[in-house]
Structure formats: structure tokens, C-alpha cells
């Protein structure tokens, strides 16, 4: 575990009231770097991370799970995060026209996510996933390219 990762719970503890930290759920989502490892090695690493984070003396949060996510999940989480931070949801406009596309060039993979326009007949139609948002449904194209990250390409 990197020095930064080892100290993250301690740093966060100072900015979050201890009474609230105990009810904050903590999910660890591992990405392409762990997808490249042999399955057993990745499982052992995630088990060690989980054991450390489940220790309430070391980590004030309520640890739920540590797992490797798919490239499509990684693309979806990035797209949701970018659009939520930009305030693109719930403005009274249709979600597909008001969102931004998202490209993540990571260390071991690259992810791309974008919404399809209604009635679109592109070749990406078959790859679209429907996402239900509070105000509408969005058809998203989620792509992940393993080994196309900065450190692997």
C-alpha cells in the first residue's frame, strides 16, 4: 500500500467528525491495475486491504467491501462523477443533451463514456446501456481499453 493510501483514513479523520465517520460507508473499487494481476494475487491484495480497513482503530469508517470493478463500471463512475460535479443533472433539460463526455487516461487503461442522443442510429447503438436518473433515462456508451493507459500503452 502506498504511503498516501496508508494515511488517507488518518487525514480524512481530521476533516470529518468522528461521530459521522462511523456511519460513513467505505467501498474500495480497484481498477485496471488489479485487473491486470493474476486473480489469486488480486484477491489476496484486496483481502489484505479489507482487513486493514475493517480495523476501526486504523479506519474510522464503516468498511463494506473491496473489489475489482469492470472497465465499464469504471467508465460509468467517471461519467457520473464528472457530470454530477459539473451540475449537469436536474437542470430541467434532457440529460443526454446537457451532459459531457468523459475520457480517463489512467495508468493501465483508458475509459470513455458518453450519452447517445435520442433516435441515434450509430454503430454504438448496440453497446448502449440505459441509466435511470431521477429526471430521465440516458443511453450511455461505456468503453474500456485495458493496457491503453499511460503506463501500459
Residue-wise pLDDT for 3-33, tens only, equals: 445 555 555 555 666 678 888 999 999 999 9
For residue 30, give Cα distances in angstroms to 9, 62, 70, 72, 109: 17, 18, 9, 13, 12
In terms of Cβ atoms closer than 10 Å to its own Cβ (0-12, 13-18, 19+), residue 88 is middle
Q: What is the pLDDT of residue 131?
A: 87
Hey, is 77 helix, strand or coil? helix
Q: What is the pLDDT at residue 136? A: 76
CA 1 vs. chain centroid, Å, equals: 19
Q: How confident is the model at residue 134 (pLDDT cuts 50, 70, 90)?
A: confident
Q: Which of 125, 118, 115 is nearest to 83 (CA)?
A: 115
Residue 2 has pLDDT above 60, yes or no: no
What is the Cα–Cα distance from 108 to 31, expressed in whole angstroms? 8
Q: How many whole angstroms separate alpha carbon 84 and alpha carbon 97?
A: 14
Position with higher pLDDT, 84 vs 17: 84
pLDDT of residue 1: 45
Q: Is 65 a catalytic residue?
A: no
Q: Which of 84, 82, 76 is nearest to 29 (CA)?
A: 76
State the pTM of this model.
Answer: 0.79
Nine-digit cell string for 74: 469504471
Residue 126 has pLDDT above 80, yes or no: no
* Catalytic, out of 43, 72, 74, 124: 74
- Mean per-residue pLDDT, 88-113: 82
Q: Indicate the length of the chain as a whole number.
A: 153
Average pLDDT of the residues in 125-146: 84
Amino acid at each position: 500500500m502506498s504511503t498516501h493510501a496508508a494515511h488517507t483514513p488518518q487525514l480524512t479523520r481530521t476533516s470529518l467528525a468522528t461521530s459521522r465517520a462511523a456511519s460513513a460507508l467505505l467501498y474500495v473499487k480497484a481498477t485496471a491495475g488489479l485487473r491486470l494481476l493474476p486473480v489469486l494475487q488480486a484477491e489476496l491484495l484486496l483481502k489484505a486491504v479489507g482487513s486493514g480497513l475493517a480495523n476501526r482503530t486504523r479506519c474510522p469508517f464503516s468498511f463494506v467491501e473491496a473489489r475489482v470493478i469492470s472497465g465499464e463500471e469504471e467508465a460509468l463512475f467517471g461519467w457520473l462523477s464528472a457530470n454530477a460535479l459539473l451540475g449537469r443533472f436536474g437542470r430541467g433539460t434532457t440529460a443526454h443533451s446537457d451532459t459531457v463526455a468523459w475520457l480517463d487516461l489512467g495508468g493501465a487503461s483508458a475509459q470513455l463514456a458518453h450519452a447517445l442522443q435520442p433516435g441515434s442510429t450509430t454503430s454504438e447503438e448496440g453497446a448502449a446501456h440505459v441509466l435511470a436518473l431521477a429526471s430521465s433515462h440516458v443511453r450511455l456508451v461505456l468503453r474500456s481499453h485495458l493496457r491503453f493507459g499511460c503506463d501500459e500503452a
